[in-house]
Amino acid sequence: MWLSVAFAAEAAHVEALSEALLALGALSVGVEDADAGTDRETPQFGEPGSSPAPLWARSRVVALFEKHADIPLIAAAAAGQAGLAGTPRYEVSEVAEQDWVRLTQSQFEPIRINERLWIVPSWHRAPDPAAISLELDPGLAFGTGSHPTTRLCLEWLCDHLRPGASVLDYGCGSGILAIASARLGAAGVTGVDIDRNALLAAAGNAERNGAAVQLVHSSQPLDMQFDIVVANILTNPLCVLAPLLAARTRPGGRIALSGILATQAEQVRAAYAPAFDLAVQAEREGWVLLEGLRPC
């Protein structure tokens, strides 16, 4: 058994508190949005070329300790090392002993996107040898094919991507959409992300799948235009990125946007209205995919 300890922390104290907890024996430390799951939840994103977005104003620093750790003593010591005025509020929960590798693997079965495409974890055999199988393991970056928005994008690519098309996957995460595009016959696939860990994960996944994908950090300039632009992010960053993504879509090219709740579709449509007449192409579990054709 282990102990999971969640500390309430303001953004300015997160880094110092995290470092102090690690120095005091924490096996791992993570940071979460304290308002996650509420209407105050704040997504992390930044405009291309901007400095990284700040942490959440109200954060939770979650540390994992061995079961015999003296948590009150550690909490007080960590607060002192981090320069806090007092010990922050914290909650302790027990984490049962488990075979974490087996448990994690059991949660990821092969996913059938359609008759053409499967997402298959590396520890599974491809269910349909005649279909395209993308080997993709869960990692630090979002995108295993299980989320409704990822499935919407994969289904759209299967239906609309023509061999030889150029593709931009903006906010590529694990690289799943970029890799799928390459395996479906695209020529010239570029993945962009703000997170360098995501780009590392995407590079490994692309190599594993034999997919030629150019990966670019969002701070780097991107001047070319593409036949297809796909972005599976969230509504707010999609709206911020509207001028950039429109400019990267060639005249006559298509754009597909997801990570959008059905109730937010009109907000995104309005943001892209100067360049596209977006329409809801598909909906799954309350999420929608918007698509549009850029006029020639």
Q: Where are the beta strands (DSSP E) in the chain?
A: 2-10, 28-33, 58-66, 90-95, 111-112, 117-120, 132-135, 167-170, 189-193, 213-217, 226-232, 249-261, 279-284, 287-293
CATH topology for 103-293 is: Rossmann fold (3.40.50)
Mean pLDDT value across residues 267-275: 95
SS3 204: helix
Q: What is the pLDDT of residues 151-209, one digit of tens each?
A: 999 999 999 999 999 999 999 988 999 999 999 999 999 999 998 888 998 999 999 99
Q: What is the pLDDT of residues 104-158, one digit of tens each?
A: 555 567 888 889 998 887 777 888 889 998 887 655 445 666 788 999 999 999 9
Q: What is the pLDDT of residue 125?
A: 83
The pLDDT mean for the chain works out to 87
Domain with CATH 3.40.50.150 in the chain: 103-293
Q: What is the pLDDT of residues 48-99, one digit of tens each?
A: 444 444 567 788 899 999 989 999 999 999 999 999 989 999 999 988 765 5
Q: What is the pLDDT of residue 131?
A: 92
State in words which class domain 2-97 has. Answer: alpha beta
- What's the rounded Cα separation, in Å, for the pair 265 and 269? 6
Q: What is the pLDDT of residue 198?
A: 86
Ordered DSSP codes for 61-116: EEEEEETT--HHHHHHHHHHHTT-SSPPPEEEEEE----HHHHHHHT---EE-SSS
Domain with CATH 3.30.70.120 in the chain: 2-97
Q: Residue 31's CB: how many other CB atoms inside 10 A?
A: 18
pLDDT value at 21 more than 70: yes
Give the global pTM. 0.66
